[in-house]
Amino acid sequence: MILPIYIYGHPILRKEAKDIDSSYLNLKELIDNMFETMYNADGVGLAGPQVGLDDRIFVIDLAPLADEENPEYREFKKVFINARIINRTGEITNFEEGCLSIPGVNESVPRKDTIEIEYLDENLEPHHDTFTGFPARVIQHEYDHINGILFVDHISAIRKRLIKSKLTTMSKGKVSCHYKVRTA
């Protein structure tokens, strides 16, 4: 089932999400719905708060970005539950990001190159992994969501001023995109 995606200005996007426990109802169904919603919106990542839930879950599938240089993205379909980033290292790089909750806005965001993260997968099996480069960037973007942080929080004051009216319009419920949304 395709879920509505919550848009900038909705308070759920600013809440710190809560851990999921093993008694969580319909977890498999939620995961299926999150992937379906993300694919329908042409995204590569989607977090719980973006579908109105204050649960620490996000899904990522980098397959649409797989190419000759990065064939491994074809297999990069992952669920992160109760994730905790325990280390961020390496150089800070800047790269243009967007977000399904902030349609039509793309800004360069500085992030560390490498992360170490603990999380549970879709079967609630624990993992402790290190990611680097673009996958680490996408994970940090989604991880921000479960802590109530949005990518526009990381951009320069000048850029922020330039997109302010766009964000204000969005938070007043005026938004146009090709997928189903819920506004504040």
> For 95, phi and psi rounded to 5 degrees?
-155, 145
142 in catalytic set: yes
99/155 with CB nearer Ni ion? 99
79/99 with CB nearer Ni ion? 99
Cα–Cα dist 160/154, whole Å? 9
Q: How far is the CB of 74 from Ni ion (least distance, A)?
A: 22
User: Which one of the spans 99-107, 111-119, 123-131, 132-140 is the region binding Ni ion (CB under 5 A)?
Assistant: 99-107
**Tokens 């007043």 sit on residue:** 172
Helix (H, G, I), strand (E, B) or coil at 154: helix
Instruction: Count other Cβ atoms within 10 Å, centred on residue 183.
Output: 15
User: Which one of the spans 62-70, 95-103, 121-129, 163-171 is the region binding Ni ion (CB under 5 A)?
Assistant: 95-103
Closest by alpha carbon to 76, among 87, 85, 65, 89?
65
Q: How far is the CB of 71 from Ni ion (least distance, A)?
A: 25
User: Which one of the spans 33-41, 77-85, 92-100, 131-139 is the region binding Ni ion (CB under 5 A)?
Assistant: 92-100
The count of chain residues that interact with Ni ion, using the rule CB under 5 A, is 1
99 sits near Ni ion (criterion: CB under 5 A): yes
109-114-120 Cα angle (round to 5): 105
**Contact positions vs Ni ion (CB under 5 A):** 99
Known catalytic residues? 142
